[in-house]
Structure 1
Amino acid sequence: MKILVIQLARLGDIYMSWPAMRALRRAHPKAEIHFLTRPRFEGAVEGLTAIDKHLSLPVSAILAPLIQEDADTEAALATLNESVDALRDEHYDWVINLTFSPVSSYLTHAVTGPTTTVTGYTRYSDGTLCLADEVSAYFYAQVGTDKPNRVHVVDVIASMLNLEYIEADFAAPQIENFATPLPETYLVVHVGASEKHKSLSPEEWAQLLKPVAATKIPVVLIGAAGEAALAEEIQAHAIENEFVNLVGLTKISDIFAILQDAELLIGCDSAPIHMASLTDTPTFNVSIGDVNYWETGPKSTLGFIYRVEKGHKVDANRVGECITGLLQGQVAPELITRAAGLVSYEKNEAASERFQWDLVQALYLGASYPLADRMEILQGATQLADINKFAMEQIALIPEKGLQNIGPFLDRSEEVIESISRMVPELSPLISWYQAEKVRVGPGTLEEICTAALDVHERLARHIHVYVPQEALLEQEEKVEEVCDGTL
């Protein structure tokens, strides 16, 4: 068997793919596994012995002709086609897209042969998005910023590939000793972040590190060459701390050696957070703004998150006190802590947040539906049931009146459904589920598409009925039966 794994996201996503690659190798010991990344991030593949071949998609060479003053579309397409042809010529038996982006789905479809098994986002023959498996549909509907998912991406990938992890899947790679001498005991601070708005200013870092100075533990600074000025500013402000400044002086693979013996890694959302999961280094993640820490927080056994919601100011001194407490064996009450099992972190949640996650489990895992504790939930569900019934009635009329006449009514019903998701956030997981299932209706004859669409609406009706008052439910069920029997 020949397997292609596509991972075109950034460094952290590649490192989150490592355990799955090791588990995939263990499940298919004789397979030939190829791993495709962008050249910019190929350093994150060093040490990943579970794969047979690393491939690079020349994204810069493809895009360069398009962003010049006189865009050369033909040159860009020629480079892209050359890369696609080379991949297609490998005749892969299984293509796995771990990128989870609609853009990557085009590449997946392009390199897929007539007998290839596909897992992850791809495209139907008519070019529309295809969610090729149940977990991909789950990812599309429930995973992401401001979504209710509580399962770590590492575990979502395992579920998608039907893999079981063992401890060795999270081991650090074989690494050479780092040449620069390090203190016997030290903390590691990664000064940057995956995005600027998720990082701390030099002044905030200095204020954060001030309580740590009292512990007398040296701080090793790590980061990319472009973050060297930031590191120098941190040192200039935090004069009480002892530093070893390695920012811009290491290869990415050196970070494993630095993390291996560290007492604690402190950082915002970035690749070292996920590298520390492979060295099992205790990790303190300052999670700022648009981040779903349930999905991308540290996977280390001792992983801690200090959450700063979007628009809120970082209390850097308090963060430093929480870090100092951890070094003394005390976990501050505001810290979010790692959990074993399906849910990746433990946190006291608002009732609406808990309702959404419980509803996700009911939709996908067969768990009990959560009890509605707000009248707005019942009202929203009743409105959703009404518009769903209306949509079913319209779909049933398509063969008689034509899609061109019915389409505007269906578009309007979709707008109403989307508005209910915004007005009643507790119901948003159900509406996201419905929208993903609609995407999964593939190309076909008009009759086939209508039948598949009605099936989605019928399943939505079954989920909704839990929250619709009984008198309204009886009326709706009668209408649905008439639609399904073709008498309405």
Structure 2
Amino acid sequence: MKILILQLARLGDIYISWPAVRAVRRLYPEAEIHFMTRPRFEGAVEGLTAIDRHLTLPSGHILQPLVNESVNTEESLNRMEEFVETVRAENYDQIINLTFSPFSSYLTHALTMPHTSVLGYTRFRDGFFCAADEVSAYFYAQVGINKPNRVHVADIFASMIGTEYVEQDWEAPALPEIGITLPETFLTIHVGASEKHKALTAEAWARALDYFSRRYQGMPIVLIGAPNEMDIANEIIANAPNAAITNLVGQTKMNELFTVLKRSELLIGCDSAPIHMASLTDTPTLNISVGNVNFWETGPKATLGLIYRFENSQEIVPERIGEIIAQLLEGHADPELIMRTPGLASYGKVETAEQEFAWKLVQAIYLGGDYPVADRIEIIEGAMKLDEINDFMMSQFALIPEKGVNAIAPFIDGGEDVIKSISRIVPELRPMIDWYHAEKIRVAPGTQEEIIAATLSVHERFKRHLRVYVPQDEIITTVEAKDGTL
């Protein structure tokens, strides 16, 4: 058996994928497993012994004709076709796409042979998007920024593969010697982030570390980061005179960070690859989460994983971060911190009634849990309107054989517009509406009769979910008694 696993996202996503790749190896110990990434992030594959071959998508080579002075689209397409044909010749029995991106869906489709089974995003034969399995459909509908999902992406990967993790899936790789003398005990600071808007400024880091070093004297600090973050590190050192800092920024390879993290008492950093590397070394981690991110999905998975959450950088008080770090080293977790929890949701946090309703509704739809109680009349009214529009759309689909698609399409489109508007007006119902849209997209190409039948099935299931919140008229069935009385 030959398996291809795609992870074409960034460094952190690759490290999040390590346990899933190892789980695939456990499930198929005799399989030949190939793992594809982008060349820029190939360093995140070093030490991943569960794979037999590492492939890289030569994106630079493919796109190079498009950035020349004379754009050559045909040459770029030829290079892409040549790459696809080379990889397709591997004749994979299974493709597991962990990327969840439009481009990866096209690539997965292009590499799929008639006998290939696919998990993750791909395309139907007509080129339209296809969520190939139930978990992919869940990801499409419920995962992402401002979405209700509370399950970590790593756990979603495991569900898609059809397994549960074991302890060995989360082990650190063999730790390389780094040739640098580290303090006997220390905490580690990653000075950067996956995106600039998620990072602390050099000034903020300096104030936090200087306060910490005055509050918790004698604890050495090791800075890590990429070569392009060396100026940030130098500025931190210059403005934190009380801190005993060892600066490793730009001086280590990616896999050497495993050694640093394994020896560290605590890692502090914003959303970035080291956060996920620390999950593999099981290093206690404080994730400073800033801005537009769903921390439930991408936070640290170390046994002691904590999140200090800020909606924007203006909320940050650096000295408070320094105090919280000191408290953690003293064995106390500040009440402001969000902590890892066992169970389905990856972290525990007090949420608004609207957020709690949405998450419970997700569990009801996908896991057969109890539907949450509607505590606002707007939820009932929204469900009633959705039920009415859904019935109308079902009646229109039934008329297609008689009147034709062109005659019915405007009415169907109008119904979809109403459904979208209700999603905005009644956000509690958005998970159900997003489920509906994902299921509609999953309808495969076929004959008109097949498409109508599959679409009506989606509407019927949508109706069953809606009826939970639609007041039922009392129905009195009159039965004539034998003696003629009622």
Structure-2-length-normalised TM-score: 0.95
Match of 2:87 in 1: 87
- Separation (CA, whole Å) in 2 of partners of 1:382 and 1:319: 48
Q: Deviations over 1:87-122 (max 9, x none)?
A: 110010001111011221010000100111111101
Matches within 5 A, 1:161-310: 161-213=161-213, 214-215=215-216, 216-310=218-312
Show the counterpart of 2:66: 66
Q: Distance in 1 between matches of 2:175 and 2:76?
A: 38
Q: Distance in 2 between matches of 1:284 and 1:66?
A: 42
Which residue, out of 383, 387, 409, partners 1:385? Answer: 387
2:351 alignment partner in structure 1: 349
**1:398 and 1:406 in contact (8 A); partners too:** yes
C-alpha deviations, 1:240-261, integer Å up to 9, x for none? 1111111111100110010011
Give how far 1:387 is off: 1.3
Given that residues 84 and 110 in structure 1 are in contact (C-alpha distance below 8 angstroms), is that contact kept between their aligned partners in structure 2?
Answer: yes
- 1:465 is aligned to 467
More deviation, 309-318/330-339: 309-318
Instruction: Report the alpha carbon displacement of residue 212 of structure 1 after superposing the two structures with TM.
Output: 1.4
Match for residue 16 of structure 1? 16
Q: CA deviation at 1:412?
A: 1.6
Give the superposition deviation at 1:314: 1.6
Distance (Å, rounded) in 1 between the aligned partners of 2:313 and 2:71: 39
Q: Which amino acid aligns with 2:240?
A: A
2:26 aligned with 1:42:
no
Match in the other structure for 1:394:
396
Give the partner amino acid of 1:333: P
Partner residue, 1:485: none
Which amino acid counterpart does residue 182 of structure 2 have in structure 1? L
Q: Which amino acid aligns with 1:426?
A: E
- Amino acid aligned to 2:317: D
Which residue of the partner structure matches residue 51 of structure 1? 51
Counterpart position of 1:375 = 377
Contact 1:421 1:428 in 2 (8 A): yes
Q: Which whole-Å deviations, capped at 9, do the CAs of 1:424-482 have from their partners, x for residues lacking one?
A: 111111011001000100111112111111110110000001111223x98xxxxxxxx
State the Cα distance separating 1:317 from its structure 2 match.
Answer: 2.0
CA distance in 2, matches of 1:206, 1:419: 47
Tell me, in whole angstroms, the C-alpha distance in 2 between the residues paired with 1:388 and 1:169: 45
Q: Whole-Å Cα distance in 2 between the matches of residues 358 and 329 of structure 1? A: 33
SS at the partner of 2:188? strand
Cα distance in 2 between the residues matched to 1:433 and 1:320: 43
What are the within-5 Å matches in structure 2 for residues 92-131 of structure 1?
Answer: 92-131=92-131
Check whether the contact 2:35–2:54 (CA below 8 A) recurs between aligned residues: yes
The aligned counterpart of 1:423 is 425
Distance in structure 2 (CA, Å) of the matches to 1:349 and 1:2:
44
Bigger mean CA offset, 418-427 vs 305-314: 305-314
Alpha-carbon offset, residue 316 of structure 1 = 2.1
Instruction: Determine which of 438, 448, 451 is the counterpart of 1:449.
Output: 451
Q: Give the residue type in structure 2 aligned to 1:110.
A: A
Q: Write the distance in 2 (CA, Å) between the matches of 1:314 and 1:219.
A: 21
Q: What secondary structure does 2:436 align onto?
A: helix
Q: Matched residue of 2:399: which SS?
A: helix
| Aligned residues: CA RMSD | 1.2
Which runs of at least 4 in structure 1 moved beyond 4 Å after TM superposition? none
Unaligned runs of 5+ in 1: 475-488
Q: Residue type matched to 1:383 in 2?
A: K
Deviations 1:242-287 (A, max 9, x none): 1111111110011001001101100000000000000000000000
Deviates more, 1:381-390 or 1:284-293: 381-390
- Per the TM alignment, residue 420 of structure 1 is displaced from its structure 2 partner at its CA by 1.0
- The residue correspondences of 1:329-344 to structure 2 (distance < 5 A) are 329-344=331-346
- Deviation digits for residues 143-196 of structure 1, max 9, x if unmatched? 111111111111100010012211111111012222110111111111110001
Q: Report the CA distance between 1:310 and its aligned residue.
A: 4.2
1:481 corresponds to which residue?
Answer: none
> What is the rounded CA distance, in whole Å, between the counterparts of 2:402 and 2:344 in structure 1?
48
Aligned equivalents of 1:277, 1:203: Cα separation in 2:
28
SS in 2 for 1:208: helix
Distance in 2 of aligned mates of 1:223 and 1:341 = 33
1:324-372 alpha-carbon deviations (Å, 9 max, x no partner): 1111111111110011121111111111111111001000000110101
Matched position secondary structure for 2:322: helix
1: CA distance between counterparts of 2:439 and 2:153?
21
Q: Which amino acid aligns with 1:137?
A: A
CA distance in 1, matches of 2:297, 2:119: 20
Q: Give the partner amino acid of 2:6.
A: I
Aligned to 2:2: 2
Q: Deviations over 1:283-302 (max 9, x none)?
A: 00000111111110000000
Which residue of the partner structure matches residue 141 of structure 2?
Answer: 141
SS at match of 2:164: coil
Q: CA deviation at 1:311?
A: 7.1
Equivalent residue, structure 2, for 1:486:
none
Q: 2:375, 2:323 → 1: CA distance?
A: 37
1:402 maps to a residue whose letter is G
Q: Encode CA deviations 1:182-224: one digit per residue, 9 max, x unaligned.
A: 1111111111100010001111111222331131211111111
Q: Which moved more, 1:308-317 or 1:253-262?
A: 308-317
CA separation of 1:69 and 1:469: change in aligned 2, threshold 3 A: farther
Deviations 1:383-418 (A, max 9, x none): 111111121121112122211121122112111111
Q: Mark the runs of 5 or more structure 2 residues left unpaired by the alignment.
A: 476-486
CA contact (8 A) 2:340 2:348 kept: yes
